[in-house]
Amino acid sequence: MDNFKLSNGRSIPSLAYGTWLIPNKDAANCVKMALEAGYRHIDTAQAYQNEEGVGVGIKESGLKREEIYLTTKVLAEHKSYEKAKKSIDESLKKLGVDYIDLILIHCPQPWALFRGKRRFFKENIEVWKALEEAYKDGKVKAIGVSNFLIDDLENIMNNCEIKPMVNQILCHIGNTPIDIIKFCQENDIIVESYSPIAHGAALKNKAIVEMAKKYNVSVAQLCIKYTLELDTISIPKASSKAHIEDNMKLDFEISDDDMVELIKLNEIDYGKDAFWPVFRKKNKAK
């Protein structure tokens, strides 16, 4: 699997194993299955309440810590420097690791106010300062954000010392936020696509099903490959050994014409069908 190169020069695997909705009691086993299948990037969050299990899975995998890329996220409700600073240390303790490879602000607003009028620009600057401090102290190797819109990103970029290295966003066939992807990639911010299978909805979409048949792959494989072809990191989630393994079988290419057709499935027509090839493999690192 390819790697991307972050703005600080560090590599990050382009395929991550997502642990959202995996209970803490099951997380260790699922993480071990993912690592056995070949994943080397594990994505969790404080909000998932499974950091302890994820940490156990990493420890019991038999792999060296430096062989695994570990991401977690500060609670969206933590909107102060002190709360964010404390929570980073709590994540390190729960995960049972000496450092975290990537930590993100989970959301620009608390979830109860998600995409509301109150934007929390000042508060996010304070949280970001805690992330910058942890980065400088070596507690984390990279820092970023999640669910940030362009003006949320600009707020950090214009008022803080270190710009976000990653923006993890909802991105899948039928919901491809081209404007955010383009902004991030033009500003050397790696985009991560969570829920690439659209929370399972893609499995029922006739157009996607037919496209998957054309390539003789599963719908999940097509969806994951789609996000990779957009030059974003893909974060599929699965809990069974078979699905975990199948989600890694991505040895095929989606043609330019078919990528355009899949982008057209967006609910909003951006009118920029030709945009995507310029991003393809732009940020790939050997």
| CA pair distance 77, 80, nearest whole angstrom | 9
Q: 265 near 174, Cβ under 8 Å?
A: yes
Which amino acids are annotated catalytic? 48
Sheet holding 69-74, edge to edge: 17-18, 41-43, 69-74, 102-105, 143-146, 166-170, 190-194, 233-235
Amino acid at 276: W
The residue assigned the tokens 């996607």 is 208
| CA pair distance 123, 109, nearest whole angstrom | 9
| Residue 96 zone, left/alpha/beta (φ > 0; ψ -120 to 50; rest) | left
